[in-house]
């Protein structure tokens, strides 16, 4: 198989996204660092070989190590979270690091017929941490409104608190509720049980 030559000084540096097949070629050539910004439970169920997990809920661009000449590629499930993470990498981009978001995320990667590592028997929560966070915030906002309307106006403070929390999460890139839910027993890192005594698992 012929690996495409990557010109980091021209075409690669002029774009802010990459297709799954481009990322596959860059990984094979060692010209990129692939970072998965999904949550740990998602990464445990299936991942792209060679990807490093740095969840968006605790994403810190300063912690990423990229060698000179390498492209930093971010990916998530569908491309939305990785685009968000890429937008936070202004300092890296200003220092000359090319930052790209993989179009369509791991779903597009699989649709392109590219392999993922999916350990047999590894199961995470039925609902991912980010969706749990959204559901919890929605319920608390509704509860605060209901209490404020039917019981006491102080209930509106709960809704206001959750709104302020969302603003803080958007500005800081850190969601305290997501970090808390991640530590709940039902979101504990899934145990590998592939029946091979710790040997090979399905790819």
Active site residues: 76
User: How far apart (Å, rounded) are the C-alpha atoms in residues 113 and 43?
Assistant: 19
Residue 156 CB: number of other CB atoms within 10 A? 14
User: How far apart (Å, rounded) are the C-alpha atoms in residues 73 and 96?
Assistant: 14
User: How far apart (Å, rounded) are the C-alpha atoms in residues 84 and 106?
Assistant: 16
Beta-strand relationship, 17-18 and 71-75: unpaired
Is residue 190 within 8 A of residue 122, CB to CB? The reply is: yes
Q: Strand pairing partners for 58? A: 174
Helix/strand number for the chain, H first, E second:
8, 5
Residue 70 CB: number of other CB atoms within 10 A? 18
User: How far apart (Å, rounded) are the C-alpha atoms in residues 81 and 93?
Assistant: 18
Q: Strand pairing partners for 53? A: 36
């Amino acid at each position: 198989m012929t690996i495409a030559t990557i010109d980091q000084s021209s075409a690669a540096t002029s774009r802010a996204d990459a297709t799954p097949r481009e990322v596959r070629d860059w990984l094979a050539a060692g010209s990129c660092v692939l970072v998965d910004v999904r949550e740990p439970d998602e990464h445990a169920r299936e991942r792209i070989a060679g990807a490093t997990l740095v969840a968006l809920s605790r994403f810190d661009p300063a912690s990423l190590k990229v060698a000179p000449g390498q492209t930093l590629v971010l990916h998530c499930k569908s491309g939305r979270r990785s685009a968000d993470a890429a937008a936070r990498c202004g300092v890296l981009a200003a220092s000359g690091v090319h930052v790209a978001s993989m179009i369509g995320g791991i779903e597009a990667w699989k649709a392109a017929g590219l392999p993922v590592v999916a350990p047999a028997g590894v199961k995470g929560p039925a609902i991912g941490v980010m969706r749990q966070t959204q559901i919890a915030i929605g319920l608390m906002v509704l509860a605060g409104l209901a209490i404020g309307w039917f019981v006491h106006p102080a209930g509106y403070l709960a809704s206001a608190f959750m709104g302020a929390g969302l603003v803080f999460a958007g500005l800081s890139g850190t969601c305290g509720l997501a970090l808390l839910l991640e530590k709940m027993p039902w979101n504990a890192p899934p145990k590998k049980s592939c029946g091979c005594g710790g040997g090979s698992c399905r790819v």
